[in-house]
Amino acid sequence: MSHPAVFCGEGGVPEKHWVGRSFGRAADGYDGLAGLQRTTADAVLAGWFARTTRHRPDWILDVGAGTGYPTRHLHQHWPEARVLAVDLAEGMLRVARRHWPDADPLHCVVGDAETLPVADGGVDMLFTNLALQWCSSVTAAFSEFYRVLKPGGQLAFSTFGPATLHELRAAWASADDHTHVSHFPEPDILRTALDGCGWAGVELHSTLTRLQYAGVLDLMHELKGLGAHNLTRNRARHLQGKSAWQRMVAAYPADRNGEVWASFEVIAGYCRKPVSGK
């Protein structure tokens, strides 16, 4: 089966080795900053649990598991299932193990969503929360998810949409020619990728959230603390000059107190691998 190559955006494709390092360094302080990540996981999981009331999985795979917040909820909902947590950052998985109940082993593997260390048809259900935006190709990731799921297996995911951080992207665009914010796929691109891979029963839902910050610096510090600062190939390879930073801050919309808003578009998706799928 051939699939169209769908990328996150020209010049905005993340470099994987830097993604793993960045999130690994952010692991210890990640949970204190990841409010949006937890809220998104809660919403997508609630929708998934309502759609899968009759499922009794043997193996569940959490891709981009991070510090294991959704992994623990998957285990609580399906306590008899074995859960495998996969993440690019070993540091994140170490933190996940610390949060896990001692009585239940957590299976952790350092791995890439686009080349999963899982056998064909090895898992019953697959969940991934706000990790697809770090893939070079969403098509490659969806194809891998399809490969590792058993026929009839269920997929639930969330990812950032194109409106995410549009204020920051526009402000930087007025300051220099480098890529400072990743390019996030539109729902139509996600649907095309899913359809091309053979997924059935595809549902996509988009939600826009706006968060307030004391200033642009606070926003940038949070993104860095989450390990989510700029890791694209077209990023500047040197420290930003003071003048470029000042131009960006001046261009970012702020109220009279200097407070700013940042937009986050979250796309949630649910689908299944057909029983007749190969």
- Residue 241: what pLDDT? 60
Collect all residues with Cβ–Cβ distance below 8 Å to 274 and sequence separation of at least 6.
Answer: 151, 152, 198, 200
The pLDDT of 28-51, averaged and rounded, is: 78
Residue 176 domain flag: no
- Residue 42: what pLDDT? 94
- Residue 103: what pLDDT? 57
Residue 6 domain flag: no
Residue 60 domain flag: yes
- Residue 50: what pLDDT? 97
Q: Is the pTM higher than 0.85?
A: no
Residue 160 domain flag: yes
In which region does residue 255 sit, left (phi positive, over 0), alpha (psi from -120 to 50) or beta (all else)? beta
Q: What is the mean pLDDT of the chain?
A: 82
Q: What is the CATH number of the domain that holds 72?
A: 3.40.50.150
The pLDDT of 232-258, averaged and rounded, is: 74
Q: What is the pLDDT of residues 133-176, one digit of tens each?
A: 888 899 999 999 999 999 999 999 999 999 999 999 999 988 88
The residue whose two tokens read 């839902």 is: 205
Residue 9 domain flag: no
pLDDT band, residue 186 (cuts 50/70/90): very high
Question: Which residue range(s) make up the domain with 63?
Answer: 16-164+183-211+264-272
Residue 216 domain flag: no
The pLDDT of 105-127, averaged and rounded, is: 94
- Give the chain's domain count: 1
Collect all residues with Cβ–Cβ distance below 8 Å to 251 and sequence separation of at least 6.
Answer: 170, 171, 174, 175
Residue 89 domain flag: yes
**Lowest mean pLDDT, pick from 29-43, 69-83, 229-243:** 229-243
| 252 DSSP assignment | S
Between residues 99 and 55, the one the model is more confident about: 55
- Residue 240: what pLDDT? 56
Residue 224 domain flag: no
pLDDT above 90 covers a percentage of the chain that reads: 58
Is the pLDDT at 31 greater than 50? The verdict is no
Q: In angstroms, rounded to a whole number, what is the distance separating the alpha carbons of residues 76 and 97?
A: 15
Collect all residues with Cβ–Cβ distance below 8 Å to 185 and sequence separation of at least 6.
Answer: 6, 8, 9, 132, 133, 138, 159, 161, 162, 193
Sign of CA dihedral 124, 128, 134, 138: positive
Token readout for 145 is: 């998810």
